[in-house]
Structure 1
Amino acid sequence: MKNVGRIERLLQRHRGGALIFLCALLMLVGSVRFGDAVVQTSSRAGDRELPIYSVDTEKKQVALSFDAAWGNEDTQQILDILAKHNVHVTFFMTGGWVSDYPEDVKKIQAAGHDLGNHSENHKNMSQLSKEECISELTEVHNKVKELTGVEMHLFRPPYGDYDNEVILTAQECGYYPIQWSVDSLDWKNYGMQSILDTVLKHKNLEPGAIILCHNGAEYTAQALDALLAGLKEQGYEVVPISELIYKENYHMDHTGKQISDVS
């Protein structure tokens, strides 16, 4: 079979890695189950494999997510504000961030938030080989599992960069690839009001939206309390991505919206 040589090379390079062995095996069988999570191997729209940008749902729910790759000054403040509003979100963490701030990873998990994979080294995944992509996924996966016992299932490609192989490889490793439909642009450091206006007036703010923030941006923690209040005023319930998405029996439209196949 065409993948056998690739699998042999992968196993020689990463001897002893159970998750990498599983990913290699799944190059042949094409699907994976971790616990109760079933990952389909195709999220195809036309000739493209797409991550989940948003979800088609009648529930007035949105998901708030934080990418954690650099900096940690505001993480505790963010966690305190989320606790004040009794809101759970998703943190996508790089391997470097996990290694630098292990106690904060534990705090995030203990507070009931999703732990998500943001790759080991925050590289453009589409520029890597399949074997390198698997390594980027599994290194941080194993760190988080050893630290918290959590098997992560959500993956956000760094820079939002992906191609068909990146999406399929992530699925083969047991991950739902996740993008976003509402970018807070907090990373541009335009100020607290800019974040609020960008999110709360965004054309894509609708049921099933996935909102992108960063825990290390200059004004994000300052804006968070008012952002959560503004979402609530508009009637939205904020949930973690793991609660928003469909785990199986779905397809994607051309915008990356996840649509359930169950009537």
Structure 2
Amino acid sequence: MKWIYNKHNVTFRLVIIVGILLVSLVYVSFKTNVNVAEVFSQTKELPIYSVETEDKKIALSFDAAWGDEFTMNILETLDKYEVKSTFFLVGFWVDKYPDHVKEIAKRGHDVGNHSTNHPYMTKLSREQMSQEINITGNKIEKLINKKPILFRPPFGDYNDDLVQVCKENGYYTIQWDIDSLDWKELGVQPVVDRVVRNAKNGSIVLFHNNAKYIKEYLPIIIERLQKDGFEIVPISELIYKDNFKMDNTGRQILIKD
């Protein structure tokens, strides 16, 4: 009888512990907007952080939300080194600087979508996510006669819903595996060192178009990368459009026949 009693007691305790864990998850979900179903899901939707490739290719990207002081200088620098890159534009930036949107496209760079109002996307419903994406997508398409296919979530904030909504609307969700940290305004050398030391085949680098020292560090980084044998390409040319899978780090891998 004692053994039976202990067995039931252990079972009861396990039930209590599981119950507490579930309640805790629900509470965390409520407070942080984390989907509990995603926690238990065996598959996780991931954006593209980098690409597995034997080719020595790397992509530079520039997020544009606030300010435009250095955009033309960036474009001139990219032209000087015959480099094409990717710009992710927020809707209100597009409204304010339509001529620069056109100039970016005219010079052969990717024009990507960076939302309409720069919100934390995971705090939105799926319908609101679609609105954030499509309002800006339509604005860009009207200016350059080409629909964007790349979306970068503001703050790098994403969940399964966002990646799925992007797919449904014809977008690849793009993150980065090298953060230049240019927004911290630490100076030129820290940005150069961070990018060059971490560069590898298939990397995607994050810059900001209005970072304080970008006129100084961008030429140095491009020269160093090219000297190391890297071909700098737009993200649209780096990623695989189909027949790919994602590893658990967000690295895109081509599925070979």
Which string of whole-angstrom CA distances, capped at 9 and with x for unpartnered residues, describes residues 28-61 of structure 1? xxxxxxxxxxxxxxxxx94310000000000000
Equivalent position of 1:174 in the other structure: 170
Aligned with 1:127 (options 113, 123, 130)? 123
Aligned with 1:233 (options 214, 218, 227)? 227
Gaps of 5+ in 1: 1-44
* Deviation of the 1:222 alpha carbon: 1.7
Equivalent position of 2:180 in the other structure: 184
Task: Give the whole-Å Cα distance in 2 for the aligned partners of 1:46 and 1:223.
Answer: 42
Equivalent position of 1:252 in the other structure: 246
Normalised to the residue count of structure 2, the TM-score between the two structures is: 0.83
Task: Give the whole-Å Cα distance in 1 for the aligned partners of 2:152 and 2:51.
Answer: 16
Normalised to the residue count of structure 1, the TM-score between the two structures is: 0.81
Equivalent position of 1:88 in the other structure: 84
* Deviation of the 1:148 alpha carbon: 1.1
Equivalent position of 1:224 in the other structure: 218
Equivalent position of 2:156 in the other structure: 160
* Deviation of the 1:233 alpha carbon: 1.4
Aligned with 1:149 (options 131, 145, 148)? 145
* Deviation of the 1:170 alpha carbon: 0.7
Aligned partner of residue 112 in structure 1, secondary structure: coil
Number of residue pairs matched by the alignment: 217
* Deviation of the 1:197 alpha carbon: 0.8
Aligned with 1:200 (options 186, 196, 202)? 196
1:257 maps to a residue whose letter is R
| 1:111 maps onto 2:111 in alignment | no
Task: Give the whole-Å Cα distance in 2 for the aligned partners of 1:141 and 1:118.
Answer: 9
Runs of at least 4 residues off by over 6 Å:
none
Gaps of 5+ in 2: 1-40
| 1:79 maps onto 2:48 in alignment | no
Which string of whole-angstrom CA distances, capped at 9 and with x for unpartnered residues, describes residues 75-129 of structure 1? 0000000000000000000001000000000100000000000000000000000
Equivalent position of 2:236 in the other structure: 242
Task: Give the whole-Å Cα distance in 2 for the aligned partners of 1:184 and 1:100.
Answer: 26
Equivalent position of 2:206 in the other structure: 212
Task: Give the whole-Å Cα distance in 1 for the aligned partners of 2:254 and 2:245.
Answer: 7
Tell which structure's C-alpha radius of gyration is larger.
Answer: 2
Task: Give the whole-Å Cα distance in 2 for the aligned partners of 1:220 and 1:171.
Answer: 32
1:206 maps to a residue whose letter is K
Task: Give the whole-Å Cα distance in 2 for the aligned partners of 1:230 and 1:147.
Answer: 34
Query: Counting helix residues as a fraction of each chain, which structure ranks higher?
Result: 2
* Deviation of the 1:194 alpha carbon: 1.2
